[in-house]
Structure 1
Amino acid sequence: MAAYFEHCKTLRHSISSKEHATAIGPWLEGRRAAEARQVAAQIIKDMSPHYAPATINRRLGTLRKALRLAFDAGRTDTDYSTHIRRLPENNQRTVYLTIAEVKQIADQASDNVRAAIWIALLTGCRRGEVCKIKAEDITESVIRLPADITKTESYREVPITEALRPWLAFLPMAIKPSSIKSGFAKARKAAGFDNVRFHDLRHACATILLSQGVPLHVVRDVLGHASIRTTERYAHTMVEAQRDALDKLSDLHREITPAPSSEPQ
């Protein structure tokens, strides 16, 4: 993997790429390139109960690239990268929490996990970003997210609202990301939301903002999306609200206007 870590220096998302490569390190110890298929199968078996297919695929992708680099450099006679197969992904998210539903979950959580939940919702930050906020990142009016802790590796500032201010006392977080993940899982189960992930709080931030009439480009900036196209995927959640509104208009129309008696000529 040494060659892959050198390769990471040329990547835009070098930090996350290194983290994914490091995560599979224990499975690679003492194994040869020729065992790539077996190693990948073991990684999938061990990680599947804990991680989404997309995350596992990113980690398998680092192994695949490392094997390809080894072949290109003449260190192996066979391109073992072709032995790595991706898992099927279903990235469609159908869970969009209301703020009342978020409260139901938060009320079942420990103090630290509850704080993480509200900080995530009120900032749009990812779990990893919340956990990496330091005391020096917090000013009177904004939270400064250094480029090295964001997924897009871009500096961003998050305004501190009055609702967020009381939860700042919990920053830096006193618990690890894994503890937040497990604590959130217990809370959402206790609240009766079996199909909810912590990351859905970020989705909720976006959809709630859109439902309040916040422009798409502003939501993009709040969430720190690199492209407006990423933010546009939330726009479809507004269609049903628009449909309900137009249905009401349709009902009023039918009350005062009869249907056309004939087809247009």
Structure 2
Amino acid sequence: MAGDYVRLAAYTGIRRGHLLRLTHHDVKDGFLRLDRTSKTRTLQLVPLHPKVLSVAQRLPLGISDDGVRASWKTAREACGLEHVRWHDLRHTCASWLVQAGVSLHTVSEVLGHSSLAMTRRYAHLAPEHLADAINKLT
């Protein structure tokens, strides 16, 4: 069950706390509906990758925050990756999106960043757009 939350985090960029509060009622038309009214006063729609759609439809997954934390710790230790934090899954999602050529603006929307400046830290992962821009000159 914790592994399903790991996949959801990596493929959506959603924070652990938000993930653990989600239910199948938050899944609609291939999107997760995150109520962010307490922070940004908006409803954030996060698209679901086909690899995690079936997981999202089974939310909640029946494991507590403590259970997720313990499983995450055990998995990291087994792999020798004790330095990896849960939040790194959010960075993984952003990195995968940028490396796939997704615009920083769109990455910012997917992650629910309040400003594009927060997303710019991933720009170095896709410098090809700089060459593409120069090559458009006549």
TM-score normalized by structure 1?
0.45
Q: Which residue of 2 aligns with 1:119?
A: 8
Deviation per CA, 1:211-243, whole angstroms, max 9, x where unpaired? 11110000000100000000111223446xx6x
| Counterpart check, 1:232 vs 2:120 | yes
* Structure 1: 4+ residue segments shifted above 2 A: 150-154, 236-239
Which has more radius of gyration? 1
Counterpart contact for 2:101–2:126, Cα < 8 Å? no
Q: Aligned partners of 1:119 and 1:200: how far apart in 2?
A: 13
Q: Aligned partners of 2:40 and 2:93: how far apart in 1?
A: 18
Q: Aligned partners of 1:169 and 1:187: how far apart in 2?
A: 24
Q: Aligned partners of 2:23 and 2:89: how far apart in 1?
A: 21
**Judging changes above 3 Å, is the alpha-carbon distance between structure 1 residues 133 and 196 closer, same or farther for their aligned structure 2 residues?**
same
- RMSD over equivalenced CA pairs, Å: 2.0
**Judging changes above 3 Å, is the alpha-carbon distance between structure 1 residues 130 and 196 closer, same or farther for their aligned structure 2 residues?**
same
Of 157-166 and 222-231, deviating more is 157-166
Counterpart contact for 1:185–1:197, Cα < 8 Å? no
| Counterpart check, 1:207 vs 2:123 | no
Where is the strand percentage greater, Structure 1 or Structure 2? Answer: 2
Q: Aligned partners of 2:60 and 2:109: how far apart in 1?
A: 23
| Counterpart check, 1:181 vs 2:69 | yes
Identity of aligned residues (%): 35
Deviation per CA, 1:93-137, whole angstroms, max 9, x where unpaired? xxxxxxxxxxxxxxxxxxx11000001111110001110112211
| Counterpart check, 1:141 vs 2:54 | no
How many residues are matched? 129
Counterpart contact for 1:120–1:126, Cα < 8 Å? yes
Q: Which residue of 1 aligns with 2:50?
A: 162
Counterpart contact for 1:124–1:202, Cα < 8 Å? yes
**Judging changes above 3 Å, is the alpha-carbon distance between structure 1 residues 225 and 179 closer, same or farther for their aligned structure 2 residues?**
same
TM-score normalized by structure 2?
0.83
Q: Provide structure 2 residue ranges, at least 5 long, that are not aligned to the other structure.
A: 132-138
Q: Provide structure 1 residue ranges, at least 5 long, that are not aligned to the other structure.
A: 1-111, 247-265
Q: Aligned partners of 2:87 and 2:42: how far apart in 1?
A: 19
Q: Aligned partners of 1:182 and 1:235: how far apart in 2?
A: 33
Deviation per CA, 1:9-34, whole angstroms, max 9, x where unpaired? xxxxxxxxxxxxxxxxxxxxxxxxxx
Q: Aligned partners of 1:151 and 1:206: how far apart in 2?
A: 20
Counterpart contact for 2:33–2:46, Cα < 8 Å? yes
Q: Which residue of 1 aligns with 2:135?
A: none
Deviation per CA, 1:123-170, whole angstroms, max 9, x where unpaired? 11000111011221111321111125x754532011122111122244
**Judging changes above 3 Å, is the alpha-carbon distance between structure 1 residues 147 and 124 closer, same or farther for their aligned structure 2 residues?**
same
